[in-house]
Amino acid sequence: MVASALLLSKELPTLQYTATRDRFDDSWAAPLSTLLGLGRSAGADLVEFFLERVNYISCLAEEDTITSISPRLATGAGVRVFRGQTDCYVSTNHLSFAGLRAALEKGLSILGLDLPTPNAFVPEINLEPLRDYASRKGKEAWLGQASSIQEMGEVLLQATGQLQKTASHIQSRRATYFRDWQEVLVAASDGTFARDIRLTQSVGCNLLCADGSDRSSIGKRSGDTGNPEFLRAWDSSRDADEVAEAAGKMLYADYVESGTYPIVMANQFGGVIFHEACGHLLETTQIERKTSPFADKKGEKIAHENLTAWDEGLSPTAFGTIDMDDEGMPAQRTLLIENGVLKNFLSDRAGSMRTGHPRTGSGRRQSYAFAAASRMRNTYIAPGVYTTEDLFASINKGIYCKRMGGGSVGPTGQFNFAVEEAYLIENGKLTKPLKGATLIGEATEIMNKISMSSQDLGLAAGFCGSVSGSVYVTVGQPHIKVDSITVGGR
């Protein structure tokens, strides 16, 4: 049945729509525009539907055996209803018209909104022509072009085999891979109607070595968005050799002495500290909670004048790259900090409504089970004017943090991060390996101590957890110098 512009509320229970089941396309416009109109007729200021299909698989190799292959298929939808600055979110696995209507009616009732009277008109929402990034950019074939299960196993076993060849004192060898294919459709009562397909992949290897009381654990992981050939192109031998070499150096390294040091942090994954200690504080989610020390600092200096930082969704194949966010807004580039001055925050739809900061294409979520929130994409410190040699030459005694490990961050920017691979800097030169270092600091303080940035910007894949679940992000930076930071050790 095709709904008319003069549809009455009492006719909704009898409506039947036939939308395409195996893909999201224009056939979804009719049922969604009707449901969006129902939400607006009930008194909602804005209604948004997010539909999703997922085809995920992961593979794990331990030693010389594939020990786990884990597939996951999922389909579902979420509806978000706004009334003033209040909103609620309801998700469902039922993508029929009746199932989506039930989810919408539940959301309306939570906000105290009543359905229109039986004889009330329910005008359809006039959706824009479908913005179909999947068809426009040839993404329909990606899933079929990605590596098979057999290929996954062969590549991972090659990596663990190379670790066996090049490392010594091995306790365990692991290699992991996952492929996450996602199709999404967003429709909102402001006319948004957009579709995309994402193909996110990650692969890495990890080595644990032990000799008596000496131990070292080193891993390396790469990630990609939008390249079906990613796993086939992975140089597993190179990464395995790099991990084995680092593990060997760290196995017998001296423990670092606790104290305050100048440090040089390596590029690529070194950017995890900026992401965690500062990036989260620039999300409107934090401003809404009143937990960001930068909430009222826009236009003011919050970092060293040599520091500029960006967040964007545009870098080709980067792990956090998206053609549109999970609210249907096209990706863009957002200048966060310029020469130490705070320029912009990262804002989703709800964050913009509540804080006044403009949307930045940063509304992201793990799946249909979560409402979107302001989240980072590809976040990095921009290249500076110095060479890497300049950074080292400026330090008489300090620490080079080559490879970062895990850590934790408090709600207002206090952080501590382990360093997997470190070296002592003496008179501008690397002298000996160090282990057991932990970087301890606070965002508002550390940002003013990043005094030098080199020209070798590098990006690395990461995973970020927050109120809208775990999302894929890129962290990054060139080599940077921190004038002084507390280093925990022995």
pLDDT digits (tens, 9 = 90+) for 15-47: 878 788 889 999 999 999 999 999 999 999 999
Query: What distance in Å separates the CA atoms of residue 364 and residue 374, rounded to the nearest whole number?
Result: 6
Same domain membership, residue 290 and residue 378: yes
Residues spanned by the domain of 328: 259-488
Residue 30 neighbours by CB under 8 Å, 6+ apart: 2, 3, 17, 19, 124
Backbone angles phi, psi at 455, to 5 degrees: -100, 0
Same domain, 107 and 230: no
446 in the same domain as 336: yes
For residue 401, give the nearest of 303, 306, 275, 268 by alpha carbon.
268
In this predicted structure, what is the pLDDT of residue 19? 83
Please work out, in degrees rounded to the nearest 5, the angle formed at the alpha carbon of residue 296 by the alpha carbons of 293 and 299. 115
Token pair 């900090």 is found at: 337
Mean pLDDT of 319-335: 97
Residue 412 has pLDDT above 90, yes or no: no
Among 234, 254, 274, the domain-final residue is 254
Q: Quick check: is 329 in a domain?
A: yes
Q: Is the pLDDT of residue 273 over 50?
A: yes
Within a domain: residue 188? no
In a domain, 399, yes or no: yes
210, 226, 254 - which closes a domain: 254
Alpha-carbon distance of 366 to 254, in angstroms, equals 41
Task: Say if 127 falls within a structural domain.
Answer: yes
- Identify the residue whose tokens are 């970020």: 464
Pair 41, 127 in one domain: yes
- Taking 60 as the threshold, does the pLDDT of residue 4 lie above it? no
- For residue range 363-411, what is the model confidence (pLDDT) as tens digits? 999 999 999 999 999 999 999 999 999 999 999 999 999 999 888 888 8
pLDDT at 5: 53
Domain count within the chain = 3
Same-domain check for residues 245 and 302:
no
Tell whether 152 and 242 lie within a shared domain. yes
- Indicate whether 230 and 118 sit together in one domain: no
Instruction: Classify residue 441: in a domain, yes or no.
Output: yes
Q: Give the β-pairing of 131-132 and 170-188.
A: unpaired
Shared domain check, 318 and 217:
no
Q: Which two tokens stand for residue 339?
A: 């020469």
Residues 330, 352, single domain; the answer is yes
Q: Please give the single-letter amino acid code of residue 43.
A: G
Tell me the pLDDT of the chain averaged across its residues.
Answer: 95
* pLDDT > 80? residue 438: yes
Same domain, 291 and 222: no
pLDDT of residue 350: 97
Q: Are residues 123 and 225 in the same domain?
A: no
Q: How confident is the model at residue 331 (pLDDT cuts 50, 70, 90)?
A: very high
* pLDDT for the residue numbered 427: 98
Rounded to whole angstroms, the Cα distance separating 379 from 387 reads: 22
Angle at alpha carbon of residue 355, lines to 353 and 361, rounded to 5°? 65
The sheet carrying 458-466 orders its strands as 341-342, 333-338, 309-312, 378-381, 469-477, 458-466
Q: pLDDT at position 3, please?
A: 45
Report yes or no on 4 lying in a domain. Answer: no
Residue 189 domain flag? no
CB 454 within 8 A of CB 385: no
Looking at the fold, whether 217 and 356 belong to one and the same domain comes out as no
